[in-house]
Each structure stands twice: as C-alpha cells, then as structure tokens.
Amino acid sequence: MSIMGEVELRNRRAVPLRSLPREPVDHFRGSVVEAVTGGLRIVSLFGLPEEGEMTRLVAILADDARGELGATTTLVRDRYPSLTPDCPQAHAFEREIAEQCAVSPVGHPWLKPLRRHLPDHRAERRSNVVLDPQAYPFFRIEGEDVHEVAVGPVHAGIIEPGHFRIQAHGEDVLFLEIVLGYQHRGVERLLETVDAVRAPLIAESIAGDTVIGHGGAYCGAIEALARSRKSPRAQSIRGIALELERLANHIGDLGAIAGDVAYQPAAAFFGRMRGECLNLLMTLSGNRFGRGLVRPGGVAFDLPPAMADAMRAKLEALREELEPVAGLMFQTASVQARLEDVGVVSREQCDALGLVGPVVRARDIARDVRQDHPYGIFRFAHIPVSTAWAGDVHARALVRWLEIRRSLEFVLDQLAALPRGEERVSVRALQPGELVIAMEEGWRGEIAHIVITDERGAIRRHKVTDPSFHNWAAVAAALPGNQISDFPLCNKSFNLSYAGHDL
C-alpha cells in the first residue's frame, strides 16, 4: 500500500512535511479508499492552504492492528472528486474541508454546512465560498402521519447547544439529523495565531471536560516538533491525570444514565463520586478539571509523596464505595430493561463510520490509542482494553464501568511507585517544515492534534480532531428504530462533546 511505509509515521513522531507522498488527486483518492477498504481508519482529513489558489489535502490513516500511521497528500484548486461515496468515514471531514478551505468535494452525497462559518483556512488567492453558512437544507420525510420534532439549540437542561431534527412516525423515529456548529469559536485559527504561552490555555478549552486529554495531545505535538523529552515522572503524572479525568467523566456518565431512566439512588451517588475525582484533580493541579497541569515539557506541578499517599487513601475509599453502587445499577432488573436493546450501533456502522472510543469498545472492537499507538507512560504500564459486545446503551454503560475499575487500578499503581525525574524540562524551538500527529485516548476516545510548521518553525496548521467529530454520526445512526422518548437516554449514553466537535 502506498499510504503506509514510505515514511515511518507513528504517534507523536514528527516527520518532514515534504517526505509525505504527493499524489495526483485520482491516485490520492484511490489510495485512501483502498486503505480504508483494507481495514485502515481515517484519523483526520483536512486542507492545508498552499501558495496562490492551491490547497493541499492531507489524509492521515491509522493501522490500529500494527500500531502504524500512514499519510498521503494531493494538491487541489477549487474541487476534487469526493471520497465519501466510496468511503463514508470521510463524510464529515469533506464537509469540513468545503467549509474551511472553500474546496468542493464533487459528488459528496450530503454536502451541507458543518459548523456554519465562513472559510478560515482558504488559500491566499481564493475568495470563494462553497457552503453558504446561512443556507441549511434539512432532510425531510413526507407521508401520512409522518411528523417532525425539532430540539435545540437551546435545550431543556444545562446542555451545550446543538439542533436535532427528528422525522417520526408516531413515537417511532425514522430519521435523526444533527446540526452542530453552535459552539464554534474558531479554535484552530486561534491555535495557529496566538503565542506559545496562550496556546495551551486554548487547547485546554477545546472541550472543558477533556482538559487533560486535549492538553496532552497538544503538548505531545509540540514536544515532538521540539525534540523535547519529558521525564518518566512527568509522563506518569500525565497518565494519572488522564485516568482521573476518565474516572470523573465515566462515573458522571453512569450517574447521568441512571438519572435518565429515573434510577435516583445511583444518579445521586455517582454524581457525588464524580466530584471526588474532580477534587483529586484539584489537589494535583489547583483546578477541578486539571487546568494548568499539562504543559509543553512535562507538567506544571509535581506530585510529592505525601500527596500521593493522600490520593491513594481517597481512591481506595472510592473503590470501596463504587462497587456497591455499580452493583445496584447493573443488578436492578428495571434499570437493565431500560438500557438493553436501546440505541444499538452495529459493527458495520463502527467500521463504515470510523467510530472511536467506548462506543466501538461496546461493540467488541478493542480500539484504544493507549494500546494501539502507545505513548508516554502507556508504553510501560498497560491498561487492558475493556469491551462489551451488544453495542447498546447497556454495553456503553458497562464498558465505562469496566474502564473505571481498570483506570482506578492504574492510578493506584502509579501513585505507589512514581518514577523519578524533573516535572518539567524546557522546550526548544520547533523544527521547521515538519508534520506531527499526536493522538491521545481521551475518555471519549481518540483525540488527534496534527501540527504542521512552516519554514521558520512557526505553526502553519493546527488540525484538531476530537473523538466527537467521528462519533456524532453514531448518534444519528443509532436512533432510528427507537422511540422518541429514548432520545435523551441514547444521547447520554454517547455523551459527545459539542464544543469538541464545533471547535
């Protein structure tokens, strides 16, 4: 396969940009489609403005089984043949390219605005707009007794904004269309223009519940471009923080799922225990979400032995409290009945849509960046991948519970034997003309930051792909066939980020 092997691309290893394949557009399309048909997965697909009117399309693919990454590129002006008809994984990426770069994927079956903004990554000498941000044609089903339900962008609770358009026949959902972009803040452009001190603060604000995940991927990219090696101690502290973030969110999700089926005891107990994990992050970093901890070169705060002992004691107490509450939730028949066979994602959908994180692990696909493309502490300390098989709300809840147990053990192990080293080393200038792919297994799944430097070592392109970008398609795919009243439960079982998608 031409995509793999010519340059050795791996997670967090920077390579010269010019070493990537440069193919004519038809070959580019063929390579990507062939690779995905052969079992590879699109990590990201984006446009890089070049000189004049030209835009370079860059495709990053992952071979999870072999722990390798591949890439190919092509140069286009205003249009290119869309990949989506042969490769549904490209669907949202191509809408993003059309919107950001004003390059048209000809033959795209669903070419609509993605976030509804004017192009902000357009080649210098182009002034076109491919997608009018004001024009959004909705899909409609016509027919007797078919009705439409519109929800959002302002929701009934404290929820990020998004618009859901449901075509229903009675209570049965026929089709769900999800319109996002309401949280669009121009994150990529900011990351490409602000100075190196402000940038980590923006990376931490891509998704406020994934501060460590995005902070870690951002720093991983910068460290690779600067050839900076952080100490084993810093790697371990980052790993602890990442797993605490996973613990907090997974525990909170179990509580929210319990709340959505009106099982109040588990909702209340899990809700409190989520807070305990956030408070541990606050002990470590001074902020309940871990803001300020992960910085290029390591971590801004050490984890001294007395703090490690105190955290261990709290986590051991938490473990004792979690087990009986999880027992309540997973052994109460009336709860089980509400979770099983609801919002099923099929294995074919996982593969076709290139889904990531607990969503695919709940369908027996052991995909996990920590295992497949190990980095940092996860090269030395392995967390077994947790899977379930049914792909429904119950399986997604179960995978979270299994991951809670394993993350807890990992954090306890790390706290017991923190390696030595400086918490933070200085970071040199970035190498010019390079590309790096930094992936991190956030609690929602694969986070990818792809950073490209210019000939002076300044950041030229910063592409962010949040796991929600891949997985929103799964929500739309899982709902048809369910009842409208199960929409909140279904949505909660994915708990995707609007901010992470919208950037």
Degrees, nearest 5: CA angle 39-43-48: 130
Nearest CB to other proteins, comparing residues 284 and 439: 284
Give the list of residues 6+ apart from residue 435 with CB closer than 8 angstroms, or none: 14, 15, 16, 17, 20, 58, 71, 450, 451, 452
- In whole angstroms, how close is the CB of 14 to other proteins at the nearest point? 24
Nearest CB to other proteins, comparing residues 230 and 370: 230
Beta carbons within 10 angstroms of residue 124's beta carbon: 11
Nearest CB to other proteins, comparing residues 135 and 154: 154
Nearest CB to other proteins, comparing residues 113 and 391: 113
* CA–CA separation, 445 and 360 (whole Å): 9
* CA–CA separation, 254 and 270 (whole Å): 7
Say if CB 26 and CB 47 are below 8 A apart. no
* CA–CA separation, 244 and 411 (whole Å): 8
- In whole angstroms, how close is the CB of 277 to other proteins at the nearest point? 12
Q: Is 464 helix (H, G, I), strand (E, B) or coil?
A: strand
Q: What is the DSSP pairing of strand 55-63 with strand 68-76?
A: antiparallel
Nearest CB to other proteins, comparing residues 233 and 295: 295
Task: Supply the angle between the helices 305-331 and 393-416 in degrees, to the nearest 10.
Answer: 160
Nearest CB to other proteins, comparing residues 52 and 304: 304
Nearest in space to 115 (alpha carbons), one of 182, 161, 188: 182
429 torsion bin: left (phi>0), alpha (psi -120 to 50), beta (else):
beta
- Backbone φ and ψ for 172, nearest 5 degrees, come out as -85, 130
State the residues that interact with other proteins by CB under 8 A.
115-117, 120, 153-154, 156-161, 181-187, 189-190, 194-198, 200-202, 204-209, 211, 265, 268-269, 271-272, 274-275, 278-279, 282-289, 291-292, 295, 300-301, 321, 324-325, 327-328, 331, 497-500
- In whole angstroms, how close is the CB of 122 to other proteins at the nearest point? 14
- In whole angstroms, how close is the CB of 76 to other proteins at the nearest point? 25
Cα torsion 439, 233, 308, 219: sign: negative
- In whole angstroms, how close is the CB of 97 to other proteins at the nearest point? 18
- In whole angstroms, how close is the CB of 266 to other proteins at the nearest point? 9
Nearest CB to other proteins, comparing residues 49 and 88: 49
Nearest CB to other proteins, comparing residues 170 and 327: 327
Nearest CB to other proteins, comparing residues 62 and 92: 92
Q: Is 327 helix (H, G, I), strand (E, B) or coil?
A: helix
Provide the residue type at 2 as one letter.
Answer: S
- In whole angstroms, how close is the CB of 184 to other proteins at the nearest point? 5
Q: Kindly write down the DSSP assignment for every residue of 220-233, as one continuous string.
A: HHHHHHHT----HH
- In whole angstroms, how close is the CB of 161 to other proteins at the nearest point? 5
* CA–CA separation, 446 and 207 (whole Å): 13
Nearest in space to 58 (alpha carbons), one of 88, 92, 94: 94
The token pair at 185 is 């803040």
Nearest CB to other proteins, comparing residues 13 and 185: 185
- In whole angstroms, how close is the CB of 12 to other proteins at the nearest point? 23
- In whole angstroms, how close is the CB of 489 to other proteins at the nearest point? 17
Beta carbons within 10 angstroms of residue 77's beta carbon: 13
The token pair at 108 is 């795209």
Quickly tell me which residue has 């007797």 as its tokens. Answer: 144
Nearest CB to other proteins, comparing residues 272 and 456: 272
- In whole angstroms, how close is the CB of 107 to other proteins at the nearest point? 28
